[in-house]
Structure 1
Amino acid sequence: MLYQNLARPVLFRIHRGDAERAHDTTLRWLTRLSEQRQVRNALIKLNRLSAPVTVCGIPFPNPIGLAAGLDKNGAAVGAWPALGFGFAEIGTVTAQPQPGNPKPRMFRAKASQAIVNRMGFNNDGAQALAARLQGSPAVDCPLGISIGKSKAVPLEGAIEDYLQSLRFLYPFADYFAVNVSSPNTPGLRRLQDAGALRALLGALHAEGQRLAAGRPTRPILVKIAPDLTEPALAELLEVCLDAGVAGVIATNTTLGRDGILPAEDDVAAEPGGMSGRPLTLVSREIVRFVHRETGGRLPIIGSGGIMTADDAQAMFDAGASLVQIYSGLIYNGPGVVRASVRRYRKTASRHRTASHA
């Protein structure tokens, strides 16, 4: 309530509707927190609740994570466990540094609790991220790194582009998320087609084995779009299973605009991907479909429209093993992280009791 009634209104008012400046200001504060080890460690003890779970061979202190997009350059990696997160996914990062799309490129629909963005993978590049992580304080939670295609690289060069990012960042990730589903890089979603995706995943798997040098390989997950038809999604999942993918992240932002209130049609008219409350049911149904279609063989990280602890639990009930939060953090503050862990623990305890009855 403190965040919603004080911090958020002040932050939103300072930047008068400039969502990206508000985001950058918040990230600067969190970067400073990340660098203050004593304060950060005290906050980790205070805020992070334990609900251990192992997914893809990785032990997570709790199953509530930060979604990719908020900390593209890994500037605040130490701050996320201090806010209660059990893991964090940074990026999306590309092999080449790039400025992203022209500004303005991020828009809030506050009454609808939605965000529309067309950022375009603005980031410092994989090599710069590797150097930053090399010199960063301990992350204190599992770290996922989302990798995408550099905009300047044509689709026929996409595989080598992804491989460059994998090589630079392999020592620093607990898992990799392969982003082939952002709507903001021209042509990127064509990499979700069966043939293109099979070739990309095969190359990443082979390179991961080489980089692991006989040790366990880093799990590779595929982030999928919410706008795929069921036949297209079923085909994509078949490719993932055949390629030995460790899991999927469902979902990225949507090109749809259902759920934005008529009073915010100006935001709805902006090109880009939409996240937040309007994506809640869409992403949940995609998670439910993936779980049913794969018979539970592919672990799922549920992402998209998780604004409350009830939303997080509904994702778990739909078949997710972990969940990620982005817009819920922006609109409802870090309290949603702790509330989601508490709800998960309560539900898991009730299920254990029922199974022993």
Structure 2
Amino acid sequence: MISHKAWHTRCARRDLARGGLQAAPPRGRPVRALGQVFPGALTIAAGIDTDGALVGRLEGSGLGAIEIGSVRASTRAFHRARRALRRLRARPVRKTSAAARLRYGVSLAKRAQTPWSDAAAELSNGVSAFAGLADYVTLNPGPGRPALAEFIAIVAAVARHRDALVCSGSPRLPLMVKLAAPWLRGAHVLDELRGLAAAGVDGLLLSAEGMAAHEHLGLLRRLRQAHGSALGLVSVGGVCAVRAALQRLDAGADLVQIHGAVRQRHRRQWIDRAVAALCGPVEAPQSRSVSFSTPPRAQACSSSRSR
């Protein structure tokens, strides 16, 4: 029997796939994060579009990205997501709109039966499958997460695999890592998260679920101060008011993901209102996140050779 939450999620997905959102000229303020330009700072979190059903449906909505998944290797959702993104990449793209197009990320998680000792290989295969299709990949530890140190080692192995793909001619796929609230507490959290930056990730997806608002905002400020423009910061969890999204951006987040707000009845009006609030005068893309002084492929190859 389907749960109440799953039912509302399914209804939201069908509603958006059927009618989309209010079409308009790009209304969001472009944001540079993860080495690319997003048309807006408001994005849809994984868990709404589990298999790519919304790919190509929300262009011009003012949203910055849709994160598909979480998907797991060899599942039906995994293959559906790949097919949806492959069809999207096959469409002709006008040069005037290519830079500001809606971005599509993929949240990758390991299968339940896969031990953590084999997770790096499974996640690396997922990165190979979505290279050249997704705009970025989020490595999601899921509910049965290991110790943070163990997960950092897994992420480092996946990042090395990504860099090896780049050296063999594949497009560079930005990597983001989702971090649950229990990992984000403690006096040494900044030192531990430096290990992820050193591992080669492009961004951190920071969950606010289970954290007080001031605690999450303080973490965003400390991370932005510690890493400057070298790391993309994305906030997710508990964004049911437009004001909360604005506060997180002010605290240092590049992007804000929404999930619960999409499941509510008046989702379209909420998203349109949030996009309008997050707008402001159109200006050059913000550059909080990493900008590459050398082509991404060359940078990855040179860094992998120096390891």
Equivalent residues, number: 272
Q: In the alignment, what sits opposite 2:36?
A: 58
Tell me, which stretches of 5 or more residues in structure 2 are unaligned?
94-100, 287-307
The Cα offsets for residues 103-145 of structure 1, whole Å up to 9 and x where unpaired, read as: xxxxxxxxxxxxxxxxxxxxx3433421233235869511111
Distance 2:207 2:179 in 1: 5
Q: Going by fraction, where is helix more abundant, 1 or 2?
A: 1
Distance 1:237 1:147 in 2: 20
Secondary structure in 2 matching 1:74: coil
Tell me, which stretches of 5 or more residues in structure 1 are unaligned?
1-14, 35-39, 98-123, 257-278, 353-357
The Cα offsets for residues 289-328 of structure 1, whole Å up to 9 and x where unpaired, read as: 3223434532201212222221111001111111111112
Q: In the alignment, what sits opposite 1:93?
A: 71
Taking a change above 3 Å as real, the CA distance of residues 17 and 129 of structure 1, as seen in their structure-2 partners, is closer
Aligned partner letter, 1:22? H
Taking a change above 3 Å as real, the CA distance of residues 126 and 142 of structure 1, as seen in their structure-2 partners, is same
Distance 1:71 1:281 in 2: 30
Distance 1:44 1:226 in 2: 35
Q: In the alignment, what sits opposite 1:68?
A: 46
Distance 2:3 2:77 in 1: 28
Q: In the alignment, what sits opposite 2:259?
A: 326
Residue 263 of structure 2 corresponds to residue 284 of structure 1: no
Secondary structure in 2 matching 1:65: strand
User: Offset of 1:59 from its aligned partner?
Assistant: 1.1
User: Offset of 1:347 from its aligned partner?
Assistant: 8.3
User: Structure with the greater relative contact order (CA < 8 A, sep ≥ 6): 1 or 2?
Assistant: 2
8 Å Cα contact 1:283/1:304 also seen in 2: no
The TM-score normalised by the length of structure 1 is 0.67
Alignment of 1:221-236 (within 5 A): 221-228=176-183, 229-231=185-187, 233-236=189-192
The TM-score normalised by the length of structure 2 is 0.77
| Greater Cα shift, 129-138 or 157-166 | 129-138
Secondary structure in 2 matching 1:286: helix
Distance 1:308 1:347 in 2: 22
Secondary structure in 2 matching 1:173: coil
- Of structures 1 and 2, the larger Rg is shown by 1
User: Offset of 1:29 from its aligned partner?
Assistant: 3.2
Aligned partner letter, 1:311? A
| Greater Cα shift, 234-243 or 217-226 | 234-243
Q: In the alignment, what sits opposite 1:132?
A: 84
- Residue 171 of structure 1 is aligned with which of 86, 110, 132? 132
- Residue 25 of structure 1 is aligned with which of 11, 28, 44? 11
Distance 2:2 2:125 in 1: 39
Secondary structure in 1 matching 2:160: helix
Secondary structure in 1 matching 2:253: coil
Q: How well do the aligned residues superpose, as a CA RMSD in angstroms?
A: 3.1
8 Å Cα contact 2:29/2:280 also seen in 1: no
- Residue 24 of structure 2 is aligned with which of 36, 45, 52? 45
Aligned partner letter, 1:199? A
Aligned partner letter, 2:232? P
Secondary structure in 1 matching 2:278: helix
Alignment of 1:112-261 (within 5 A): 124-136=76-88, 140-180=101-141, 182-183=142-143, 186=144, 189-190=145-146, 192-194=147-149, 196-212=150-166, 213-214=168-169, 217-228=172-183, 229-231=185-187, 233-251=189-207, 253-254=209-210
Taking a change above 3 Å as real, the CA distance of residues 21 and 328 of structure 1, as seen in their structure-2 partners, is closer
